[in-house]
Chain A
Amino acid sequence: MPEIQMRDAIRQAMDEEMARDEKVFLLGEEVGEYNGAYKVSKGLLDKYGEKRVRDTPIAELGFTGLAVGAASVGLRPIVEWMTFNFALLALDQVINNAAKMRHMSGGQMSVPIVFRGPNGPAEYLSSQHSQALASYFVHVPGLKVLAPSTPYDAKGLLKSAIRDNNPVVFLESEMSYGWTGEVPEEEYLIPIGKADVKRKGSDVTLISFSKPVRMVLEAADRLAEMGIDAEVVDLRSLRPLDEETVYASVRKTNRAVIIDESWPMASVGSHVSWLISRNCFDDLDAPVELVSSEDVPMPYNHKLELAVQPSVDKIIAAAKRVSYKE
């Protein structure tokens, strides 16, 4: 199986779906002539032309709302936000229009659209450019939200997202665009709403999504050396959330640590923690742990920014706490 980068997996998904369906088009800042700020859309302008690969002015609210309108009458836009930090300018169109049209029209309308781009902290970017904003979207009924951690998952999920008849928010990560992984040459789809057990284990369940999953797997390897056999659940789909896979794992291990690079308050991590506490209470041998970002804006200084985020050491410490092996 070929090993390709995350950015190539995402591009392959868009390329295949654009080839398959004339109604799919890509728009965003620098997606065309510049080949993408992170080279995710490289080559697509040459292949599909300006009609279907549209460079936009720097006006996120406008091009996001425009795409919502186009989707509501039958096109299937892929909106690339250069980063999710800039998506905040477009939030009105996502929450008030994309997520509400079907509801306010009593089921008459549908909005088949994908909003994608890098989310979460990168490096040396300070507080406006290093934010994990999943909660902003996960909070809203009427949206689907996906957060893959591997090239394989990214490709299969993005293809499903493009074919879905609802607004789908697709969270990528700047730091992981260069990560490689095996992706088959033949076509495949990954259904939305299914978590994936990335590592089987029996002592503690580590639950995460997006970029931190790789760090969680590294922590699991280190924990194994210490005699703690961790199971790693990659949520992949945040809305809808695959609660059953989470509960099945926790009921087996009786211990749960959630790793979420967002701030702790009202996050995916805090929500999953509540779900587990409520639905697996009798199975738990320890309180649920949450390894999140510190509750502060991201500093520029490298030592400080690393200290703010989840780390392998923090995950190990939390796993040991729930295992009473401190």
Chain B
Amino acid sequence: MSDLKKYKKDFLLKALKDMLLIRRFEEKTAQMYGLRKIGGFLHLYNGQEAVAVGAVAAVDLKTDYLLTSYRDHGHALAVGMKPESIMAEMFGKITGCARGKGGSMHMFDVERHFLGGNGIVGGQIPMATGVAFKQMYDQDGGVTLCFFGDGAIHQGAFHESLNYAKIWNLPVIYIVENNHFGMGTAVSRVSGVDDFSLKAAGYDLQGKVINGMDFLEVYEGISEVVKDSRKNGNAWLLDIKTYRYKGHSASDPAKYRTKDELESYKKQDPIIKLKSQMIEAKLITEDDFKDFDEEIKKAVQDAVDFADKSEEPALHTIYEDILA
């Protein structure tokens, strides 16, 4: 159990607000999908907020980089992308971060060192390894966070990457956001091991299991390995156990799991947990929480209004953004 008292109020408050923003944003996103303002595949992050927010709090994106899979809205918000730019992208508008070319699965913000948003399961893992290669090549002191789901861990891309990270001493932290289901398939049905951190040993790397339902446990766990990676060029494999409240994508009713299982995770909700701890420590009151929840809801509605009012991309833009 982490000690809340070690931390300044501002730090904790930012984490709480960041997680709440992701939750409210995703709730609104689901609504917008229902209204057909958003199309295609939509993978929501509800329940997993502590992972992205805890991880981003543990790095410095001036030197460090972050890559993830198609379940990317949470990471996009955690790195500080504007909700307007993300929502507009999902609405397919020219004001979106990828000018309406990427959609939900492909959020990018190069200035914030957030390199997507990859739609192929495991496709970002070799790329993230290459970003860390550059950090090693230039000896610039940066580290790379590479997020992927438990479904990606059986891809060859994952296994090949860990080997490169070891033989070339690359400062990359591989983070399995283990929400226990690769789409509709339970981990236990497709994996010989339950603890993915064990797979690090096969490449002579270190691994660790972290509770992803707790912001401070994620923050502290990742901070520790980031320090080692930055200093010694060691790669790490983290199995962060988390849970997604929604289906794999917006079209998935998630009939492969029980209501009881979902409810048991909702009782460990990372936002409610940090909120309760902060109220108990007298850092905030219930009313404070209600106030900034209202502010966040308004910010999310502003993002929707912005996306709504934004222009469609002009037809000639189909020929743009292909070659440099």
Size of B's binding interface in residues, CB under 8 A: 44
Determine which of B123, B133, B320, B321 lies in contact with A96 in the assembled complex, contact meaning CB atoms within 8 Å: B123
Main secondary structure of the interface of B (DSSP, over half): mixed
- Interchain CA distance A19-B207 in the complex, whole Å: 40
Question: Are the CB atoms of B126 and A62 closer together than 8 Å?
Answer: yes
Cβ of B243 < 8 Å from any Cβ of A? no
CB of A148 to closest CB in B, whole Å: 20
Residue of A nearest to B98 (CB): A106
Residues of B within 8 A of A92 (CB): 120, 123, 157
A69 within 8 A of partner (CB): yes
Tell which of A72-80, A217-225, A247-255 binds the partner.
A72-80
Chain B residue contacts of A96, Cβ below 8 A: 119-120, 123
Least CB distance from A107 to B in Å reads 4
Q: How far is the CB of B143 from chain A (nearest CB, A)?
A: 13
Structural contact, A59 and B163, CB atoms closer than 8 A:
yes
Of B119, B133, B167, most buried by chain A (CB within 10 Å of CB) is B133
In the complex the two chains form, is B324's CB within 8 Å of A105's CB?
no
| Contact between chains at B164 and A66 (CB < 8 Å) | yes
Q: How far is the CA of A186 from the CA of B189 in the complex (A)?
A: 63
Within 8 A of A (CB), among B275-324: 320-324
CB 8 Å contact bits of B112-134 with A (1 = contact, 0 = none): 00011111100101111111111
Between A and B, 30 residue pairs with Cβ closer than 8 Å are A51-B137, A57-B164, A57-B167, A61-B160, A62-B129, A63-B160, A65-B127, A65-B130, A66-B127, A67-B130, A68-B126, A69-B67, A73-B65, A73-B130, A73-B131, A75-B137, A92-B120, A96-B120, A101-B116, A102-B321, A103-B321, A103-B322, A104-B101, A105-B97, A105-B110, A105-B116, A106-B98, A107-B321, A109-B108, A166-B323
Identify the B interface with A (CB < 8 A): 65, 67, 96-102, 106, 108-110, 115-120, 123, 125-134, 137, 156-157, 160-161, 163-164, 167-168, 320-324
Interface residues of A (CB under 8 A from B): 25, 51, 54, 56-57, 59, 61-75, 92-93, 96-97, 101-112, 141-142, 144, 165-166
